[in-house]
Amino acid sequence: MSQLSYRRALTQAIDEEMARDAGVFLIGEDVADSGGAFGLTRGLLAKYGEMRVRDTPISEEAIVGLGIGAAALGLRPIVEIMFMDFIFLAMDQIANHAAKMRYMYGGQVHIPLVVRTLSGGGFRAGMHHSQSLESVFGHIPGLKVVMPSDAYEAKGLLKSSIRDPDPVIFMEQKSLLGAKVEVPDNDYLIPLGVAKVRRTGSDVTIVAIGIMVSHTLQAAEELAQEGIEAEVVDARTAMPIDSDTILNSVKKTNRLVVAHEAPAPFGFGAEIAALAAEKALYYLDAPVIRVTSKFTPIPVGRSEDYILPGKKDIVEAVHRAIKGG
């Protein structure tokens, strides 16, 4: 085991998969000579050469389109969209081509494409560089949507995403880039669509994704000092959703809080709340409570702190759930 940052775990995952499979290649803006906007691809050009690590023009549609074509022919492209906010420029390619091609051709064509992109707040970079759009892509049949919560999760999930036969939107949260945890030195995979219970408890289930897992674990420790034992479920993927793990936890604790950084309307939390209402309604002793950002564009600078949710919001939500809503 080694202490590894989220940033370096991602680099290692790409490096190891490129070494393992000659069909894996990386394209995107500034991924080659510059080593990526945040150093996430540093050293890969020198190791694998410009035929497998290549800078592209500033055209998200063209970048993803190239990746789809290469994937359809049997390669395994890793496409980087520098900030998730820019991904809308490639929505036709992602939603109408990558996501649908396997279905259109009756399973004869697979698109093993990974679209990596930096998402969420944390850098106080404003409304055009800070969005969390997991629910947008989770709504499109044919896509998998991955949101790792720490370096261990990031490496294992990215390696699985690269090996997956279908297109994956891989969301890397900027606020986690420097966070370190222990990561195995040996090769390992984390299956897509399998949630993880990060902390067991009996009083309330908190389902979280991405950076909110860290905030939730901190909140759970604070709640434990009050005698409230929270069970923390790391969803790992916004699509597919591991309904069995979530429902089993809710049936045990009888209360549910869902935490994500994106706004509430039509979000991941709404889907989990609907799941609980449809499959575990009579186990619930209180309404489902969502902890999300405020429904507004994210401002530049320190004002971001008033918009994004954190530990305090989760603690307050659990108190409401314990009291019955």
Domain boundaries, the chain: 2-183, 196-322
Can you tell me the distance from the alpha carbon of 101 to that of 308, in angstroms, rounded to the nearest whole number? Answer: 36
SS3 53: strand
User: Could you give the 3-state DSSP secondary structure of residue 225?
Assistant: coil
- The H or E element that residue 213 is part of is helix 212-224
2-183 has which fold?
Answer: Rossmann fold (3.40.50)
Residue-level pLDDT at 300: 92
Task: Rounding to the nearest 10 degrees, give the CA dihedral for residues 56, 62, 68, 73.
Answer: -70
Query: Secondary structure of 64-97 in the HEC alphabet?
Result: HHHHHHHHHCCCEEEEEEEEHHHHHHHHHHHHHH
Strand residues in 218-279 grouped as ranges (E)? 230-234, 237-239, 256-263
Report yes or no: 155 and 183 within 8 Å, Cβ to Cβ. Answer: yes
Residue 248 has pLDDT above 80, yes or no: yes
Rounded Cα distance between 27 and 37, Å, is 13
Could you give the angle at the alpha carbon of 62 between the alpha carbons of 58 and 64, nearest 5°? 105
Arithmetic mean of pLDDT, 79-98: 97
Beta bridge partners of 117: 81, 171
Rg of the chain taking only CA atoms, in angstroms: 19
What's the pLDDT band for 1 if we cut at 50, 70, 90?
A: confident
Listed in order, strand segments (DSSP E) in 11-135 are 24-28, 53-55, 76-83, 114-119
Give the contacts of 5 (CB within 8 A, at least 6 positions apart).
151, 177, 178, 179, 180
Q: What is the DSSP letter of 303?
A: G
Whether the predicted pLDDT of 122 surpasses 90: no
pLDDT above 90: residue 313: yes
Instruction: Tell me how crowded residue 185 is: count the other CB atoms within 10 A of its CB.
Output: 10
The yes-or-no verdict on residue 325 having pLDDT over 80 is: no
Pairing of strands 256-263, 204-208: parallel
Question: For residue 123, what pLDDT is reported?
Answer: 85
- Give the span between the Cα atoms of 51 and 66, in whole angstroms: 14
pLDDT 10s digits, 127-136: 999 999 999 9
Please identify every residue annotated as catalytic.
129
Q: Is the pLDDT assigned to residue 218 strictly greater than 90?
A: yes
Q: Judge if 2-183 and 196-322 fold alike in CATH terms.
A: yes
- Compute the distance between CA of residue 19 and CA of residue 23 in angstroms, rounded to an integer: 10
Exposure class string for 212-222: b at 16+ Cβ within 10 A, else e: bbbbbbebbee
Q: What percent of the chain has pLDDT over 90?
A: 96
Query: What class does CATH assign to 196-322?
Result: alpha beta
